[in-house]
Every structure is written in C-alpha cells, then in structure tokens.
Amino acid sequence: METTLRGVGVSHGVAIGEVRHMGTAVLEPPAKQIPAEEAEREQGRARQAVEAVAADLIARGNLAGGEAQHVLEAQAMMAQDPELMADVERRIAVGSTAERGVYDAFASYRALLAGAGEYLAGRVADLDDVRNRIVARLLGVPMPGVPDSDEPYVLIARDLAPADTALLDPALVLGFVTEEGGPTSHSAILARALGVPAVVALPGAGELAEGTMIAVDGSTGEIFVEPSAEKRAEMESAAAARKAALSASTGPGATSDGHKVPLLANVGGPADVPAAVEAGAEGVGLFRTEFLFLDDSKQAPSEEKQIAAYRAVLEAFPEGRVVVRVLDAGADKPLDFLTPADEPNPALGVRGLRSLLDHPDVLRTQLTALSKAAEGLPVYLEVMAPMVADRADAKAFADACREAGLNAKFGAMVEIPSAALRARSVLQEVEFLSLGTNDLAQYTFAADRQVGAVSRLQDPWQPALLDLVALSADAARAEGKSCGVCGEAASDPLLACVLTGLGVTSLSMGAASIPYVRTTLAKYTLAQCERAASAARAADSAEEARWAAQAVLSGE
C-alpha cells in the first residue's frame, strides 16, 4: 500500500528505485591495555593510519574536484590535527592500543565540538567519519560506506559524510535520503553539485526495509513508499517535462515580463568555474576564497598564489560580475595563524571580518592580490566582507579597500540580524548588500544548520527570515543600491520567485540549480512574484509560507 513520508527536499529531481542502506558504523574497539614496550610501535601504527586516511581523503577530493575537493581537503586537515594526534599518542603512552587511543581522543574532541556552538557542532559528522576511517584501517576491516550493487538504487543513511557523497556515481545512486542533516549541510550542497535528487531530515528513514521500492521528490521532500503505477507514471512524466523545459531555457535570468534578475554562481575556486559557465551563469555571486587559505592552516597563501587563483576565476567571466568574499575564517574554518584556539563559542566570537580587522596584514594582502588579479580584465569586480554587524564594521572594511587601492565595488554580507535591521545605516558605507541566508537563518533562530532536529528553523521559507530579507532589500532600494542573495535559499526555484518579489536584485547559487531557477522565474511576472512574497510573509510557518506562495503563483 502506498504511503507518503515528508523530509526536507534539498536537491531537485525525481528518483525511483529500491532502497539500499549505507554500511553500519565501525564498532567501538575493545579497551585493552598494552605493555609499555609496545607503546612506540602502537604510536607508529596510529600515525601511519592517520596519514593514510588523510591521503585517501585528498585523493578522493582530487577525483571529485570542485566544491567536494575543498570539503575533503578540510577533512584531511582535521585528521592530521597536531593537537588531536598528540592526544592519541598520550593515550597510547599510558596503555591504550592505537585504535582505542584514536577512538577515545576523537570522542573527547567530539564532545568539545558538540558543545562549542553552532558552527563547530556542525562538523561532528565529518569528525566521526574521519575517526571511523582511521579505526577501520587500524582494525583491518572495510570502511563502511556506499553499498556494492550492479543495479541502480536509492541510498538510505543516517547521514552521509562528504567523502561518501563526493564520489557517488549518479548512474548507480539514483538519489539519497538521510535521517539527519539540513538544507545547507555538506551532503545537501554536494548533492546539488552532483545533480542527485536528495531528501534529508526524514525521521525513521533507516526503518525502510532493504529492497523497498520508493519514489523520491527532491524538490518537495516527499517520499512515496511502494508507489502505485499511476504515481510512478505521474512523477516520471513530470520529471521528463521538467528536463525538457530546462534544456530549452537559456539566456539571462528574468521574469516573464522582462524584469531582469541576474543568475550568478557560487564557487570555491577555479575548479568550480566550468560547471558555472556551462549552466549559463551570468557571473559569480559568491567566490568563497577561504578554501585557498585552508590549504595550509599555519600561514596565509602568498600574494602570488592568491593572484593566480583569483585571476583564473575573473578571466572566465569577461564583462560579467564577480563578487568575491574576503577570507571568512573562524568557527568551522579555524586557521592557526588567524583565529584564537581557546574561544568558548567560536561561532559567536572572532570570525569573518572580525578576524581580518585583528590581522590587517592578511586583509591588506588579499585586497592587493585581488586588485592585481583584476588588472587589464573587463570584469566587474565586487568585494564583500563576511559577518558585518553594523556601520562601523562596514566602514572599517571600506576604508581597508580604499587603502589597498582596490578598484572595485565594496559590499557587506548580511548574515547577522543586526545588519538586516540596520541595513540602511550599513549602506552609508558600502555599495551593495549580499544576503547569506544560511548564516542569517542560523543566527536568527539559534539553529545549527547541520542538525536535522532543528531543520525546520533552518528552512529559508521561515517568515521571520523573509522579513529580514525584505528589510535589507527595501533599504537597498531606498539608497539606490543592489541587494543580492548568495545563500542556498536562492537555489529553490519557487523561493527564488519570492525573493525577487521581495526586491532582491540578483540570485547566486550552485551551478546545478541555475537552469531550474531560470526556467521557473521565466513563468511569472514581477507582480505575481510580489504577490507571492506578500502571501509568504503573511504566513505563520515555513510550510504555510511555501503553500501560500505556490497558491498565488498557480492562480488558486
């Protein structure tokens, strides 16, 4: 009998196939004591296992490329963390085996992360995956992971580690469903990059029996268990129609009555550019430069290295707009040379622009590199600061840009509610705003974007979040300046229409989402988008807001 479940749709498309479950987690190794004379040998085993796992993660990243490569390289750095390794060796020195020392040291670090605020708590799943890989190697057992299958299937898991998500074969993994995670988790972001339909935060997903036939709608978050022939035909027909519409959609983003809404791409570096160009991106709305800095947490990359990376992206969009976010370090992206190691709550501490203002030499070098990278290119360079709280922050950043001789527009990211509430004040110092809806939701609702239990509060359809978007867009309009969205909210085609109706002037997203947004936006007039936005803001919940906007746009 057909039944319907609902999670959070995070990657568009339809997947119909049999359930296959992710392998079970590594068992806890026994707490066995070793003689003192074996400690050195066990420490060597632990170091070798750590290096092997780090090398494997880097190799997987090289194979995957793009966003996945940056995520996996960050995981490799986590595996090689010197303080964590020192703790492992201390535990072995007092009698633990290599595998038990690793397990206990990671457990201690895990507890610190879980209690260290939203951002670091969101890295727990990544840390668990690193631990499992090291322990599995030490125990000589296979690493649990994606099941072997000759037939295509829908993957079910409690959560998916980046190393597993990055190398999913779309020819075999039709889609995936997880019990945990949220719309902005690493798994969700990588699923969109791969173009694999995905639903997260589905309670009880693990109870679906192996081999059960299910149909997954990655747009609505609906899961149909044992779907009828009629339902399958309906979903397959809708998917085919959507694919045809996507293929036919080209050109700049605009509403049906010609209101232009530039559709830009989020990129982490040169490796992400080809997909953005292929998708028809009109430029870059978020160039995450921190991935360049994460290559070496001990020191900042040289000016020359930065220039080469920036120029490779700028050259790909002649006459296009490229918005660069300066280094956003701290919280879940700690750098030894920049961020404090002893903050009790890094997500609410010295991160983003705050870190850069404490280290003006790092900011000055980056701004100088950006200026030199853009020399002689017909690109429209715009540079923005992360984690701007008020006008003083905005002024400090704009002054730094001018002092570096940067020939570009200066902007501020709206990720902190105070910046949205006082957007007009912030705009006295900068020329544009860019809404980072992932962090804005996180700080507005005190809801970690990696935790499935609070995913409803991370839903970008929350009316309170839409209110903050409207405040920012209204302020920009009053000042005659632009206000874009570069958070994952822009990748939802229906929400893109609502954001347009709220007055947002550009939308930036993962490259795979651009055709979906372009096609949907072209169906409606600006007036329809404005009415949908008003209906959504009048609702009392994210679900009601979504349905209200859908009703307006469908003419109900």
Cα 296 to Cα 27, 59, 144, 219, 481, distances in angstroms: 33, 17, 29, 38, 37
Closest CA to 15 of 275, 220, 279: 220
Tell me if 61 sits within 8 A of 69, measured CB to CB.
yes
Pairing, β 14-21 against β 153-157: parallel
Sign of CA pseudo-dihedral 414, 487, 474, 454 = negative
Give the angle 430-488-74 at the CA atoms, nearest 5°.
95
Distance between CA atoms of residues 146 and 152, nearest Å: 12
Distance between CA atoms of residues 354 and 360, nearest Å: 10
Amino acid at 427: L
Q: Which of 186, 401, 497, 529 is catalytic?
A: 186
Residue 458 token pair: 């991370």
In a 13 Å sphere around the CA of 385, the CA atoms on its Cβ side amount to 34
Residue 381 token pair: 């360079």
DSSP assignment of 183-226, as one string?
Answer: TTSHHHHHHHHHT--EEE--TTGGGSPTT-EEEEETTT-EEEES
Query: For 201, left (φ over 0), alpha (ψ -120 to 50), or beta?
Result: left
Distance between CA atoms of residues 12 and 139, nearest Å: 39
Place of tokens 């969101």: 122
Is 186 designated active site?
yes
List all residues 6 or more positions away from 140 whose beta carbon is below 8 Å from its beta carbon: none
Q: Which of 12, 70, 359, 486 is catalytic?
A: 486
Residue 485 phi, psi dihedral angles, 5° rounding? -120, 125
Residue 331 token pair: 């919280």
Task: End-to-end CA distance of the chain: give it in Å, rounded.
Answer: 31
Distance between CA atoms of residues 426 and 172, nearest Å: 49
Catalytic residue IDs: 186, 486
